[in-house]
Amino acid sequence: MIPSPLSSVTLDGRDFLIKRDDLIDPYLAGNKYRKLYTLIKTPKERYRKLISYGGTQSNAMLALAALCKEKEWSFQYFTKPLSERQKGEASGNYALARSLGMEHYEIPHEYYKERVASLRFNLDESTIVVDQGGAAHLAKEGLEQLACEIKEINSDIRSVATPSGTGTTALYLALALPEYRVYTTPSVGDALYLKEQMRVLEMIPKNLIILEPEKKYPFGKPNREFYEIYQKLLACEIEFDLLYAPLMWKMLLEQTSEPILYIHSGGVSGNASMLERYKALI
């Protein structure tokens, strides 16, 4: 594979280098590309069906839909019931994933946990279940690949940053880059919750640094500060996602001072539906 390209931006007078994983593919990009790398390399004959579950705005869902389309695997995706607004959306990740052939199943709230827990029952060899957010144990290889690309960059920068949902990306990246600092920030819940999620996968290495905001920003809720950072970055001619990136950038600007390599984690395709929701705010 060819390494993803680099860009640079100047933000608040500071220069940042950006690893453009967002440019890898229109749908199967960013950290979802890295996390699904092992499956991307898997021969299409290996499976016939992929099953997953989670949120209906999710970038992982769209990446899986694109992967299954390419592999000619059927894709079944389980979620809690959708709002009428979401069902009607013509843009955003849900609409895109449907257009790529995703079979969507809504499970009533009261049965959701049970149903998800039973997805692996009676599976045949040709079916794979990918856990919410994109399969932790599968993620390692792709993130080691990213780490190799980072080490080959001709630069003195020894700090990298990428935002966390489950923390899988930041954790495996930090493990593969012991000689670098890896900054991340919790987008869903607080630092304690993020650490708990990471510890399920591996021991958290010392070079992984979680930057936490003073104020809570509920995940997925539009807010003016995020929009302003998004616009500032857009003025530098790079679009970032509205769910994860703005908080990471805010923390970097407020809590770090050294040169940083920002790993663009993708997710820009979800902005269409997020921007609709931002209209009420701006």
Residues within the interface to ligand PLP (CB under 6 A)? 30-32, 59-60, 133, 163-170, 241, 244, 265-267
Query: Under DSSP, is residue 222 helix (H, G, I), strand (E, B) or coil?
Result: coil
State which residue, 48 or 204, has the beta carbon closest to ligand PLP.
204
> Which residue, 51 or 133, has its beta carbon nearer to ligand PLP?
133
Token pair for 233: 């970055």
CA-CA distance, 177 to 170, in Å (whole number)? 10
Identify which of residues 73 and 246 has a Cβ nearer to ligand PLP in the complex: 246
Q: Write down the least CB distance from residue 12 to ligand PLP, Å.
A: 22
Q: Which is nearer to ligand PLP, 92 or 165 (CB)?
A: 165
Residue nearest to ligand PLP (CB): 267
State in angstroms the smallest separation of the CB of 206 from ligand PLP: 19
Minimum distance, C-beta of residue 172 to ligand PLP, in the bound complex (Å)? 8
At closest approach, how far in Å is the CB of 45 from ligand PLP?
28
DSSP-assigned letters across all residues of 46-90: G-SEEEEE--SS-HHHHHHHHHHHHHT-EEEEEESPPPHHHHH-S
Residue in the block written with tokens 């493990």: 175
Close Cβ partners of 219 (under 8 Å, ≥ 6 residues apart): 187, 188, 189, 243
Backbone dihedral region for residue 186 (phi beyond 0: left; psi -120 to 50: alpha; all else: beta): beta
Least separation, in Å, of the C-beta of 121 and ligand PLP?
26
Q: How far apart are CA 72 and CA 45, in angstroms?
A: 9
Which is nearer to ligand PLP, 124 or 203 (by Cβ)? 203
What CA–CA distance (Å, rounded) separates 211 from 256?
A: 9
